[in-house]
Structure 1
Amino acid sequence: MSAVAAAGQSIAVRVARKTVEAEGVAGFRLVSADGARLPGFAPGAHIDVALPGGLVRQYSLCNLPAQDGHYEIGVLRDAASRGGSLAMHDAVHEGSVLSISPPRNHFPLHEDAVHSLLLAGGIGVTPLLSMAQRLAALGAGFALHCCSRTAARAPYRRRLEASSFADKVFFHHDDGPPAQRLDLASTIGHPAPGRRIYVCGPQGFLEAVRAAARELQWPDAQVHFEYFSGTLPAAGEQGEFEVELRSSGRVVRVPASLSVVDALAAEGIDIPVSCAQGVCGTCLTRVLEGEIEHRDLYLTPEEQAANDQFLPCCSRTRSPRLVLDL
């Protein structure tokens, strides 16, 4: 059973349109399969999509939130993927019916900002495209910088160039002239009250932006980010350990070959899980005792340092046992 179906909140949608949005990028317009109204969403939201073969993947919604008659997602064809992007490109066509979750948002837009700087790496533009459309509709101050390897690989370039806010959009390509490449320090600038940064893209791009923002003394609270893939940071040796469920005192052994989620599931203890990569936050669990080895891309450094919650789909422990609030 897919994570979408297991959560008991699945929505049947039909692919009304499949488009080419850049080299290697497919766009999908999803409409309700039964004509019912789709749930609303805010910029930055994503949906879980149950794919052929039992895979479940997360994709950001990239259309204007007011367009509640449909959802739009963009998917990069990644030859190194574990099957999700290939399934979307090769097995999902116009007319295909898919099961999705209601929208969830771990990357919300602060609409009261004086100015929003949107920085996209490749397909990471998808949630920022929704944000840009919303900010333009509000008449708010913003700029969107889109970085890609080549002009042909810049997702949604044609749409952005034809938009009403095209003068606020800037493209940067690795194969372009040096003057066109993104200068992070000058683009980010110095922090000021009411200014916010939103960044989405691959891990290297995101970490470069965050490092530049810290160097310029931006407060973490004004820098918002979302990874678009589950490329997890390297971890140390992962041996066997135990988890204890505080409510019952039950102790479950977690071998080196299994995640905490999988070890608990093998004992009939289910934790809601979606991406299984430490990205979406669905399985976030409170920790009462023990030292956590965080391997997620969801919690902020400050939240990880608090040592009171973790994502059992990927994180482990540096102590012999973790006591969980379960």
Structure 2
Amino acid sequence: MKIHLAPMEGVVNARMRALLTTVGGIDRCVTEFVRVTDRLLPAKVFHRLCPELLDGGTTPSGTPVYLQLLGSEPGAMGDNAGRAAELGAPGVDTNFGCPAKCVNRHRGGSILLDEPDLIHAIVVAMRQSMPSEVPLTVKIRLGYQDHSRLLENIDAIASAGAAEITIHARTRDDGYKPPAFWDKIAAVHRRQLNGANIIANGEVWTPEHYWQCRQDSHCDDVMLGRGLLARPDLARHIKAQQAGDHYQPMPWEDALDLVDSLFENSLLTCAPRHVGGPLKQWLGYLRRHYQEADQLFAAIKRLTQPEDLHTALAQHRRQGFDRPRAA
């Protein structure tokens, strides 16, 4: 039973991977995608999106980080997969699931789910360009407009030598609208998978969703995305349940410590006018689970200056935790 942190473009970057894996329960991360066109990219591109390559390919807490590629040209995808492995990626992933129109227009992401032969060629080229000991994984959706070619795509990927296939249980046209159709994944397990492991993904916000997803999909492993952003301890909570341990969910005070850490990192890595962006973005997810996050978001949503944001965070903490406790 493994829990993976999903790649989320513009959200789950290196600083977010570091924060969430510090909480615990996450077995692996995947980077935002490296866009591949028709050429071999320089090392600096890989290091920019996956600075963990400079530290053994893991987050500061030791969680492996696979590097994800997105593209449609088999030769270039193979060359860049080889380079990722040379730079120390513990595994390489490829993205056939991104639903973004700007990506699909340039023949990237989920639009390729209507071209299983091309998907096969891409995965073959990547697998042949990498050392055998470096895993190659693939992320897809059920399909583009519908799921009629799901099994065809699974056969194409598994026969090409992928070690794992993560299936987001919605089509591209479904976007991120609930529900996720976990049961559609179950049929995949009846295929000749050539040893490939199947991982379920999509719409898992709570431990209850997690167990239902596993039951419906017949998968032992699950990838979590927005659910982990809303509840940073979701993976840890699930692992405690699996072990039969009593678990006390993370209180807002502890979540706020993580928010403060994100803000401090943003002060160091973002231009002053952009410092509030990551903070507001994460609070947008946290407010789904924490009422206090909604209150803090309301207090800072119009603030832009770092000093104003710092003051608002400090004031929120004083109001929430410096009150006299009831006897």
**TM-score surpassing 0.5?**
no
Report the structure, 1 or 2, having the larger strand content.
1
Q: TM-score, normalised by structure 2?
A: 0.28
Q: Select the structure that is richer in helix.
A: 2
